[in-house]
């Protein structure tokens, strides 16, 4: 059975039994990775507290792994070379997610579940069986996980009008005595003006009847 992650109850071992996409997207304390040391690549286990992470853990305790090759021989990007993989503007997973959202809006829960479960099967996650409001919540979380770090979140929050709940303080983790403690890394807040974008000054100058959106 899939359970929601809770760091307060998993403080001694927060990185086991997680959605495989977490490991595929995030570099964390204990991750296996490569460390560049003056022209050589050495496999290491990342130590956020004491290891060669260049920040001595003075960040969130997490780093981005997504988009980066994990193959030793392909890590020439450390030396300034470009990775051979071009940036992907849209993935099939996003197409399925968009379709699932449309199905949910039309109360077609069956087709929505089918589309979502195609994504989850590829990721190694169990099928979902929810309906109604529970399915919508599951869908929104699925989109957040699958498309993490791909530049969709702000637009999703705007579309769903969930700014206040979607933008709470950014969290980080500290490792002390073998246990992981969550802390507020950055204070964040949502302003309702962000549901809109500012009208460019050049356009307002062209037409005196235009009124700038609130908050800008």
**Structural contact between residues 13 and 2, judged by C-beta atoms closer than 8 angstroms:** no
Phi, psi at 17, each rounded to 5°: 60, 40
State pLDDT tens for residues 112-148. 999 999 999 999 999 999 999 999 999 999 999 999 9
Q: Rounded mean pLDDT of 18-35?
A: 85
In tens, the pLDDT along 37-86 reads: 555 556 666 666 665 554 554 678 888 888 876 664 555 555 556 666 67
Check: CB of residue 179 under 8 Å from CB of residue 11: yes
Lowest mean pLDDT among 79-88, 157-166, 186-195: 79-88
Binning the chain into helix, strand and coil, the percentages to the nearest 5 are 35, 15, 50
Q: What's the whole-number average pLDDT of the chain?
A: 84
Q: What is the phi/psi pair of residue 186, to 5°?
A: -150, 135
Give the pLDDT band of residue 161 (cuts 50, 70, 90): very high
Give the pLDDT confidence score for residue 85 in this predicted structure: 66
pTM, whole model, 2 decimals? Answer: 0.82
Q: How far apart are CA 30 and CA 44, in angstroms?
A: 9
Higher-confidence position of 34 and 37: 34
171-189, pLDDT tens digit by residue?
888 887 778 888 888 898 8
> What are the tokens at 61?
């305790």
């Amino acid at each position: 059975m899939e359970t929601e992650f809770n760091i307060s109850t998993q403080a001694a071992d927060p990185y086991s039994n997680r959605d495989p996409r977490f490991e595929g997207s995030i570099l964390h304390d204990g991750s296996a990775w490569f460390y560049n040391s003056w022209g050589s690549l050495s496999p290491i286990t990342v130590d956020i507290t004491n290891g060669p992470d260049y920040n001595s853990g003075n960040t969130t305790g997490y780093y981005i792994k997504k988009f980066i090759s994990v193959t030793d021989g392909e890590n020439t990007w450390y030396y300034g070379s470009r990775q051979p993989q071009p940036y992907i503007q849209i993935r099939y997973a996003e197409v399925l997610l968009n379709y699932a959202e449309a199905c949910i809006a039309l109360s077609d829960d069956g087709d929505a579940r089918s589309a979502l479960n195609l994504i989850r099967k590829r990721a190694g996650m169990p099928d979902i069986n929810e309906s109604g409001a529970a399915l919508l919540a599951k869908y929104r979380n699925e989109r957040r996980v699958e498309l993490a770090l791909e530049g969709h979140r702000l637009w999703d929050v705007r579309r769903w009008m969930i700014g206040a709940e979607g933008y709470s303080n950014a969290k980080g983790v500290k490792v002390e005595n073998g246990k992981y403690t969550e802390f507020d890394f950055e204070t964040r807040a949502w302003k309702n003006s962000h549901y809109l974008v500012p009208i460019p000054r050049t356009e307002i100058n062209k037409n005196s009847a235009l009124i700038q959106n609130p908050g800008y």
